[in-house]
Chain A
Amino acid sequence: DTAVSQTPKYLVTQMGNDKSIKCEQNLGHDTMYWYKQDSKKFLKIMFSYNNKELIINETVPNRFSPKSPDKAHLNLHINSLELGDSAVYFCASSHRPGHDNQPQHFGDGTRLSIL
């Protein structure tokens, strides 16, 4: 049983295109996240949603738009892709931090390559 699943695993596309990454979790968590991991392995938080409500929005270009149709899903849409968007994007979920702290569970990532 996959706890946090994201699709696609690989995404290769041209600069200027629009693409989406989907994420679903079956752990019953109420909080979901998007992270960007660059080539140096730095994990940078992008967004966090709790019960479909945006609670963290780090300094991310507005070309990135998260959407949470329900608390088990958090999708990421990226408009007008740029070369610098090439990275691995991870979805994660947890119970809400600060409320009986629990670990985050990560998907296996989506490797985005911009040509």
Chain B
Amino acid sequence: QQQVKQSPQSLIVQKGGISIINCAYENTAFDYFPWYQQFPGKGPALLIAIRPDVSEKKEGRFTISFNKSAKQFSLHIMDSQPGDSATYFCAASYNKYIFGTGTRLKVLA
């Protein structure tokens, strides 16, 4: 019940394409769902986050879609750019953080 399952493990997308990363959880106590972006040699940094009372949040090219009944949430990166190449982690939190296993995204120029 404490796990957050993330897929795919790796993703290759052409420049300008849409990158989609999915996460699923079991524990309905989770009330905060952030996504983190990590570049090589750096720590993860918050990209965008959502709470379960909304179904979608958009910030620039990044959108979180949240399906409370299915206990799933996903990150969509529109118009993917080579600079988006990084590892992405979803997470879920109530009184502790649980991170997904990460997705390595590569955007081809």
Contacts and interface: CB of A to CB of B under 8 A. Distances in A.
Size band of the interface chain A makes with B: 20 to 34
B95 A108 contact: no
A106 B45 contact: yes
B49 interface: yes
Nearest to B95: A98
Given A101-B32, A103-B49, A43 B95 contact: no
Interface residues of B, number: 24
A107 to B, nearest CB: 5
27 contacts: A4-B43, A33-B97, A40-B102, A41-B38, A41-B102, A41-B104, A42-B101, A42-B102, A43-B89, A43-B99, A43-B102, A97-B94, A97-B95, A97-B97, A98-B93, A98-B94, A101-B31, A101-B32, A101-B93, A103-B36, A103-B49, A104-B44, A106-B43, A106-B45, A107-B43, A108-B42, A109-B42
